[in-house]
Amino acid sequence: MSDIADRVKKIVVDHLGVEPEKVTPNANFIDDLGADSLDTVELVMAFEEEFNVEIPDDAAETIQTVGDAIKFLEKNSG
């Protein structure tokens, strides 16, 4: 796993309080990890802070799985 993937995973585990094993690239925040819509907003805020990027609303809407987040951040951060 890349450094970005590790950091994303840590944020998701900390924020949603889920087992690290469940946080796979295909895991959907809402369907698989029990997030509600407010959690997804908070996750995006946490990603923005951790990676010092701005994630616009239309991009945020496409980030539905752990893999989506990793992909977006690999492309758009640092």
Considering only residues 42 to 61 of the shown chain, the ones binding other proteins according to CB under 8 A are 42, 45
Closest separation in Å from C-beta 4 to other proteins? 22
- Tokens 């590790």 correspond to what residue? 6
Supply the residues annotated as catalytic: 36
Among 20, 36, 61, 76, binds other proteins (CB under 8 A): 36
Please, which residue, 5 or 16, has the CB nearer to other proteins?
16
* Opening angle at CA 33, ends 8 and 63, nearest 5: 50
Residues that bind other proteins (CB under 8 A): 36, 38, 42, 45
